[in-house]
Structure 1
Amino acid sequence: MPDIELVSADGSVRASINPVAASIRTLAVRGRALVEPYDGDQPPGAAGAVLVPWPNRVRDGRWLLDGAVQQLAITDPATRSANHGLLATTRYRVGERTADSVVLHARLDSPPGYPFALATRVHYRLRPAGIDARHVLVNESDRRAPVALGVHPYLRAGDATDPRIRLPAREHLVLDERHLPTGERRPVAGTPFDLRAGVPERDAPWHASFTALDRDPDGTVRAELSAPGHGCTALWADASFTVLQLYIDRDRRPPAIAIEPMTAPPDALNSGEGLRWLEPGERADFRWGIDSD
């Protein structure tokens, strides 16, 4: 299935949505790129992918449900973890669409390690400054189901090659050599993890989890990529998102910068932190977006 091409009424905002992982392949406002585009069917490095029913990693792909061990497929052998949820390579079904919006659907039907039926939906809609995303998860099981969600956009500030990264976080999670939380949180003040005022990409940590987020009065958190002469690209997320994951792929030129809003930290199926337990028939609703400021 080809990409879904979205265009605003005046033609100033354009996006391509890849049904695989419901990924944003391209997004531009007045010709200025807000995300790193990519080629091919599968999003490389989970570019733009929806991460559900958990974001990031599960240690050894293993977790306990009512005392019974659940074993997920190991999708990141280097860290011996189950990474990026269960739909990061799934082709979503395309539902309702207009010139500037589309709804995509995917369903989990008790896959190994996650014995629940979960209906998922994502609604993308263009705005004058960028794109909004709304995710709905519905538990179609006959028992409570744990859910969390993340997204994995690689942002761009136009053609800038060394943008500044600003993340409004007061704390970071201490990660081990497998990029999994140790359980310790530390203040960012006075450390290389303090990105509140913005730092050049080259000075930012390449892989980190941030929390204790500063928010607007309505609960929205905003992270930014900016450069003189190239404007500012802002990622915003609603109050459901409690963690911002930063990943910089410095093997690419210029480096690819992912700022991932997540409703739970890494390894949430084990820690329980940030998980939503949905009753049968209950739904969860999450919103985020990308704007050109």
Structure 2
Amino acid sequence: MTLELAAGGWRATLLPGLGGAIGSLSFRGCDVLRPTPSGTADVLATSCFPLFPYANRVANGRFIWAGDAVQLPVLPGFAPHAIHGVGWQRAWQVNGVNDSAAQLRLDAGGDGGWPWRFVAEQDITLTDAGLRIDLRLTNCDDNRVPAGLGLHPYFPLGAGGRLSLTAKKVWLSDETLIPSTLADASAIYDFAQGERLPARTLIDHCYEGWDGVAELTIAERSVTVKADTGRVHIYAPQAGGFCCVEPVTHRPDALNARPDEPGMPVIEPGAQTSLRMEISAVNTTASQPAQ
């Protein structure tokens, strides 16, 4: 099933059965997110997918919680680490839809994919200003549990694309992409002046102290991403033709963080955590905002 949304010059398709993903997002006929190939069953080929109940990697798929060892499933192609939780691997329920908005829900956890039960919700809305996604995770377990979330949007890159954002720190990673050291943002790319992409080397790093705004300048269009979290993970392969600007509530492998490091968010029974992302666009040749 594909859902279609529209508002002003914006158009989007949603793929509830494929990881609750976004299939496309365009503004005035131009792709703002990388469009999903027709007929694909690969959620990694979609425009954007949600990350529940954790984002990015967990080293070797293992961590200790409340004195108990937890082993998460490791997907082929990502070994030896677990990645991105379970939400992107499941079909989502459509709770409501109209011309410009949809509400998706997933009841998950309490199984081999994640030990604790939770409800994940997505409110996906188009307005004249662009796309807004509101994520919520509710702890349905009887215990306080670790719980995080994020979004994984893919932005196409044209010739001369640039990414600008302001952040204080970046996590340096080992050879398996597990964070090892927190350094000044300039240790990789600080993006403060706008870095040309694709970069000289793979970027797959989490930035801390992000001010919640990122801007991608692509040909004649400027795309702005805003989120209410102080962390963003940037993924930009050298030959991928895209850049991912991923708002997240925690850094990779936060479940194995040392006591003196930023760790995984924890929520009480019945409590909720949330994240909002907004995407807007401006035609830089005409200097007109999205309408």
1:44 alignment counterpart? 44
1:24 alignment counterpart? 22
| Contact persistence 2:143–2:269 (CA under 8 A) | yes
Give 1:50's aligned amino acid. Answer: P
2:222 alignment counterpart? 232
Instruction: Measure, in 2, the Cα distance between the counterparts of 1:132 and 1:259.
Output: 15
The reply on whether 1:250 has 2:238 as its aligned counterpart is yes
* CA deviation after TM superposition for structure 1 residue 32, in Å: 2.1
Dislocated runs of 4+, deviation >4 Å = 76-79
Instruction: Measure, in 1, the Cα distance between the counterparts of 2:100 and 2:45.
Output: 26
* CA deviation after TM superposition for structure 1 residue 34, in Å: 0.8
| Contact persistence 2:32–2:223 (CA under 8 A) | yes
Query: Deviations along 1:226-256, whole A, 9 cap, x unmatched?
Result: 035x211111110xx232111123344xx12
Instruction: Measure, in 2, the Cα distance between the counterparts of 1:78 and 1:139.
Output: 27
The reply on whether 1:278 has 2:267 as its aligned counterpart is yes
Task: Note the 1:92-241 alignment, pairs <5 A.
Answer: 92-112=92-112, 114-156=114-156, 160-182=158-180, 184-189=181-186, 191-203=187-199, 205-215=201-211, 221-228=212-219, 230-238=220-228, 241=229
Query: Deviations along 1:121-153, whole A, 9 cap, x unmatched?
Result: 000000213100111111111111211111110
Instruction: Measure, in 1, the Cα distance between the counterparts of 2:254 and 2:204.
Output: 16
TM-score between both structures, scaled by the size of structure 2: 0.88
Q: What RMSD in Å do the two structures reach over aligned CA positions?
A: 1.9
Instruction: Measure, in 2, the Cα distance between the counterparts of 1:45 and 1:57.
Output: 19
Query: Deviations along 1:51-105, whole A, 9 cap, x unmatched?
Result: 1100000000001111111000112555410011112121100111110000000
| Contact persistence 2:198–2:236 (CA under 8 A) | no
| Contact persistence 1:101–1:123 (CA under 8 A) | yes
Give 1:195's aligned amino acid. Answer: F
Q: Which stretch shifts more, 53-62 or 74-83?
A: 74-83
- After superposition, the Cα gap between the structure-2 partners of 1:122 and 1:204, relative to the gap in structure 1 and judged at 3 Å, is farther
TM-score between both structures, scaled by the size of structure 1: 0.88
Instruction: Measure, in 1, the Cα distance between the counterparts of 2:200 and 2:239.
Output: 15
Unaligned runs of 5+ in 1: 216-220
Same amino acid, percent of matched pairs: 25
Query: Deviations along 1:177-203, whole A, 9 cap, x unmatched?
Result: 111011x111133x4512111011033
Unaligned runs of 5+ in 2: 283-291
Give 2:279's aligned amino acid. Answer: I
Q: What is the total number of aligned residue pairs between the two structures?
A: 276
